[in-house]
Structure 1
Amino acid sequence: MAVFIFSGIQLLNISGEYEEADKEYQELEQLAPLPQEEEAGPEDRQVDFAALAQKNSEIVGWIYIPDSKVDYPMVKGTDNSYYVSHTFEKKANGAGAIFLDWKNKGDFSDRNTVIYGHHMKNGSMFAALVEYKDPDYFNAHRTIYLYTPQGVYTATVFSAYVDVATGPQTTISFQDDAAFLSFVETMRNQSITKTDTPIGAEDRIITLSTCTYEYDDARFIVQAVLHPVKTTGE
């Protein structure tokens, strides 16, 4: 009986954490409202980075995938551990935050920016990434929006696949253009759904990573090439 009671308490605690995290992120969305005007699109979204920075100075951007639960602020800490167990507002919580690899620059100027998030059982955080296993979902959700203090980007998904947590997808810097382009083609060839999205030496990509359960230490990876839409002040 004691074991069942303890298990029940654990489940309640986990459920409570989910609810607390969901509430926090829903409140943060008020600082990044989607435009309601009929002629406006997601690229016209206004994110109040000044207000977000007051809550957490490590804010670097906001990520949004239409028709999914991915709609969150992004942070970059001093390691890849803290935000695994702390929310955007730095509250201890198993939902964590969406965060950049600590080795990346915070302005998405690296050739490959790696972004991590949990695969939550309630479908929050980066759980939606595993939906890219389905070719129909992949093709219907190829546009990702990134909002940063410097400007707005769209990102076109070109690859989605399973790999180990420390696989080559975590490579951030490259010896030269040829090494980067070779990396891109390797990533493209691993994709469950094949694409011919043009990617050149001058381009930058993002790599989204979340847990998946095909084997120990497996990660589901979604990669996309960045396209600047507008810079701050336009």
Structure 2
Amino acid sequence: MPKDPLDGDWELSRLYQELGLSSTNVPGDLSQPGMSRRQPQYGQARRTSGRRSLAHRISNFLIVVGVVLLVAAGGVWGFTQWRYHESAVENERLAAYAEVFENPSDAPQVDWDGLRKINGDVVGWLYVPGTTINYAVYQGEDNEQYLHHSATGNWVVSGQLFMDYQNVAPGMVDEQSIIYGHHLLNGTMFEQIAAMDDQDKFNEIGTIWYVTDQGPHELVPLLMYYSRADDQDVRRFDFNSVDEYHAYLGSLLDKSVTSRPDATRIIQGTRHVLSLVTCNYYREYYDEDGTNGRSILVCVPKVEVDAALASQT
């Protein structure tokens, strides 16, 4: 006799076949010795089949979603790498106009005429031996111009290093000169400045060169501190007195995260600082609108450091 479609064993066998399982695993299979026929209700078997079919559809849906997310993530990653590549190409072209040397005590030699033919806003060159920091510095009419534009006017994710538009060019004229740079996650621009919030990395950097057409400035790191982006106390350029200036530097030292052990003594003889400003990603320093915080590395001319320490011995 043909198999009764209402027979529970037949229904479960078909279900197992659909799921790719052996029919020998079907509960109540009489082909196995010692098994007795069990007659489950028809409705129960159909509910079991429906649940398995739903689970199968959900599994397929999740697989599709996962594949779509992977493709999207790959696209974002590829787009980001292309943006980084564009920035690298721009900066490599500019790097050809500066010659740097293995000896960190030797200042870079810069072709100012060549750089000005590309962009007359160039004011200096920043080089930190032992890092990837080796970039031209520009000064625009505001602090937005070079945030995401290259020296040739192209939109690039890195922008250019730029001096605060309120500083007197070419820098190191005011009591505080400020240079801004992005904290890019591919290790370029000011990423290695941001990393100096670790005392060991801070100690590794002994020399920072800021070169202008008026001459080189050899600097040393003094301290690093954090701030919010809306903290206008960061952008102070001149002071009413030397005492006020030293008190300001002392307040920065009080909230510093890394510093020289002799920073207090150095501050007493400091007349100029160069502050390198970049982003950080510490939530406690985010503005209310979500703007990320700032890491600020304060550097002092080596001649002023030497003079300050010598005067106190």
User: Relative contact order: is structure 1 or structure 2 higher (C-alpha 8 Å, sep ≥ 6)?
Assistant: 1
* Identity fraction in percent: 26
Q: Which amino acid aligns with 1:177?
A: V
Tell me the equivalent position of 1:88.
151
Q: 1:210 is matched with which residue: 254, 261, 278?
A: 278
CA distance, structure 2, for counterparts of residue 117 and residue 171 of structure 1:
18
Q: Which moved more, 1:127-136 or 1:196-205?
A: 196-205
Tell me the equivalent position of 1:104.
167
* Aligned residue runs from structure 1 range 112-127, under 5 A: 112-127=176-191
CA distance, structure 1, for counterparts of residue 259 and residue 297 of structure 2:
13
Q: Alpha carbon RMSD of aligned pairs, Å?
A: 2.2
Report the secondary structure of 1:60's partner residue: strand
Q: 1:158 is matched with which residue: 213, 216, 222?
A: 222
Question: Structure 1-normalised TM-score?
Answer: 0.88
- 8 Å CA contact 1:31–1:48 kept in 2: the answer is yes
Shift of 1:142: 3.4
Shift of 1:83: 0.9
Shift of 1:11: 3.5
Shift of 1:150: 0.4
* Aligned residue runs from structure 1 range 1-234, under 5 A: 8-35=74-101, 41-108=104-171, 109-167=173-231, 168-195=233-260, 196-197=262-263, 198-200=266-268, 203-215=271-283, 216=286, 217-227=292-302
CA distance, structure 2, for counterparts of residue 9 and residue 129 of structure 1:
29
| Bigger Cα Rg | 2
CA distance, structure 2, for counterparts of residue 199 and residue 165 of structure 1:
25
Unmatched tracts of structure 1, length 5 or more: 230-234
Give the total of aligned pairs. 226
As a proportion of its length, which structure holds more helix?
2
Question: Structure 2-normalised TM-score?
Answer: 0.67
C-alpha deviations, 1:134-154, integer Å up to 9, x for none?
Answer: 111111103211111000011
- 8 Å CA contact 2:250–2:267 kept in 1: the answer is no
| Stretches of 4+ aligned residues off by more than 3 angstroms | 1-11, 199-202
Shift of 1:3: 7.2
CA distance, structure 2, for counterparts of residue 41 and residue 52 of structure 1:
23
Q: Which amino acid aligns with 1:210?
A: T
Unmatched tracts of structure 2, length 5 or more: 1-64, 287-291, 305-313
